[in-house]
Amino acid sequence: MFKGADVKGDGVTSSQRVLALCGGVGGAKLALGLSHVIDDEKLTIVVNTGDDFDHLGLRICPDIDTVTYTLAGIVNPETGWGRAGETGSFMDALSMLGGEDWFYLGDKDLALHVERTRRLAEGESLSGITAGIAQQLDIGPRILPMSDDPVATMVETTSGTLAFQHYFVRERCQPPVTGFYFDGIEAAKPHSDLLGILADSCLDAVIVCPSNPFVSIDPILSLPGVRQALRDCSAPVIAVSPIVGGKAVKGPTVKMMAELDLAPTSVEVLKRYQDILNGFVLDKRDINDLEQLKTMVDYVEITDTLMLSLDHKIALARAVVDFARRC
């Protein structure tokens, strides 16, 4: 299905055109791997904005920022989000003033929120600002917010409905989840370039990154027209399972699955994407799922999906784009 493109040898990028869909930490890791494997101008990373929220008068876009910091090589390697070598003077001073301090904002990180908020207030689009910041940080691939319109992921829990960051950060994912919805999704337009790239016959692969299916990927898929565009897309659509050995590498995916009475398996993840997928990448630790997965999707690839080092990230990215060629 690839049009004259070749995955080249180690250290050489490919001329495949790739669209990746991702959320925060896990997705950003694969996006970083992809950035080493795919030519800059041929890689577009579409990022969930359902986590975005207004806090202290600032517009905060956690997933875009995680992808941006990761691709710029300035992400905090300990956490996978925020900036390396961060300082906390602002938060200390805010606490001293009696301000709202449940959401940690490092001093360096704050510059991005202040700059973005200022530019949004001046009428720039989120996608334009994101591109400008990426250029300033010498990021090659395109980071594309799923939409320039606000969408807010809401988490329905046994303690009531919570805005995502209130659930995720303030309540530390403690309240048992009963469901999700995306406030504003009906009125939100997917970014026109997202639909344009999906409709482009030159596209070689769509990669659904190993992000949380409920709160990272579902908001993107729920934008009007996106699911259909993925079904209609001429390029293979590949998902990388976020489940490794029956667990989530990071974040509440498996906790959510348990609370929603879903088994913590790749099978359950694949079910959410089954209508759009041509191929599925399974972690080698979950090989027990293989037979059932084979009945659900045309192609299954088994590999090590745990991205502990940059080499791992690049190796997984290479395996995924190579797999896409065979789908």
- The contact set with a second copy (CB under 8 A) reads 56-58, 83, 86-87, 89-94, 96-99, 106-112, 114-115, 117-118, 121, 132-133, 136-137
269 contacts 231 by C-beta, under 8 angstroms: no
CB of 103: closest distance to a second copy in angstroms?
Answer: 12
CB of 79: closest distance to a second copy in angstroms?
Answer: 17
How distant, in Å, are the alpha carbons of 5, 20, 114, 146 from that of 42? 11, 11, 30, 17
CB of 99: closest distance to a second copy in angstroms?
Answer: 5
Residue 256 contacts by C-beta under 8 Å, 6 or more apart in sequence?
177, 212, 214, 215
Nearer to a second copy, 111 or 187 (CB): 111
Nearer to a second copy, 110 or 282 (CB): 110
Number of Cβ within a 10 Å radius of residue 139: 22
CB of 82: closest distance to a second copy in angstroms?
Answer: 12
Nearer to a second copy, 86 or 193 (CB): 86
CB of 127: closest distance to a second copy in angstroms?
Answer: 16
- Reported as half-sphere exposure (CB side, CA atoms, 13 A), residue 17 has a value of 14
Nearer to a second copy, 105 or 243 (CB): 105
Report the sign of the C-alpha dihedral through residues 274, 323, 252, 23, in that order. negative
Nearer to a second copy, 95 or 174 (CB): 95
CB of 148: closest distance to a second copy in angstroms?
Answer: 19
Interatomic CA distance for residues 159 and 177, integer angstroms: 9
Strand ranges (DSSP E) for the chain? 18-22, 43-47, 53-55, 58-60, 142-145, 152-157, 160-163, 177-183, 205-208, 237-240, 243-244, 247-248, 279-283, 299-303
107 contacts 89 by C-beta, under 8 angstroms: yes
305 contacts 283 by C-beta, under 8 angstroms: yes
Nearer to a second copy, 131 or 290 (CB): 131
Nearer to a second copy, 69 or 168 (CB): 69
CB of 93: closest distance to a second copy in angstroms?
Answer: 4
Q: Are strands 43-47 and 177-183 parallel, antiparallel or unpaired?
A: unpaired
Number of Cβ within a 10 Å radius of residue 183: 16
Nearer to a second copy, 133 or 267 (CB): 133
Structure tokens at 87: 């300082």
Interatomic CA distance for residues 300 and 320, integer angstroms: 11
CB of 108: closest distance to a second copy in angstroms?
Answer: 4
